[in-house]
Amino acid sequence: MPKTKHNPDAGKLIDEYISRAEPFARPICNKLRELIFKAEPEMIEDWKWGPNYQKNGMVCGYGAFRQHVNFHFFNGALLKDAKKILTEGSSNMKSRGIKFRSADDIDDKVIISYIKEAVKLNETGIKVEKRELEMPAVLQKILNKNKEAREIFNKLPYTHKKEYILWIEEAKKEETRERRLGRITEMLLAGKKEP
């Protein structure tokens, strides 16, 4: 039975999460979970925003979506990425990952080596430097239109500001980005700390 940290029910939550995932995603999640403990038997399994795994800090996690499973490393920007398989994060991200559409796409040896490297990075204590947030011009324009929303945004902690910025930056379609921009003022005024 995997060790848990913050949530004693993490294993059960993860089992349920995987069982409710799309049928194609279940074997991917199960295989990743198995490889994580194969790479590091002392890994701590936890539930925070979904399945995540820790050893001297956050190491990795995964999320099942409609057409892929994203396996991400919390300090992925520091990984060597010898096989050039990690996605590029935005300018405000330190996490990087790999998208899988089938369990057959997973190269066990490569994934285990990346997990081991991520654990070693945590052991050294090296962290990705907190970058200055790069405010998208479109978001700044929206905030400039409403003084109260701008002041609320400016008082948010770094991580909550980052969540709003990433929410805008990660919109794949223009109409999605515009819809999100249209909701931000309302969300801030309603006291939502993150989207």
- How many CA atoms lie less than 13 Å away from 65 in the CB half-sphere? 10
pLDDT band at 1 (very low <50, low <70, confident <90, very high): very low
SS3 assignment, position 88: coil
CATH code for residues 3-124: 3.90.1150.200
**Tens digit of pLDDT for each residue in 16-55?**
999 999 999 999 999 999 999 999 999 999 987 789 999 9
Taking the domains of the chain in order of start, what are their residue ranges? Answer: 3-124, 137-189
Higher pLDDT, 38 or 89: 38
**Tens digit of pLDDT for each residue in 49-75?**
789 999 999 899 999 999 999 999 988
Could you give the CA distance from residue 156 to residue 147 in angstroms, rounded to a whole number?
Answer: 14
Asked if 49 and 57 touch (Cβ cutoff 8 Å), the reply is no
Strand partners, 69: 64, 100
> Among residues of the chain, what percentage have pLDDT more than 70?
90
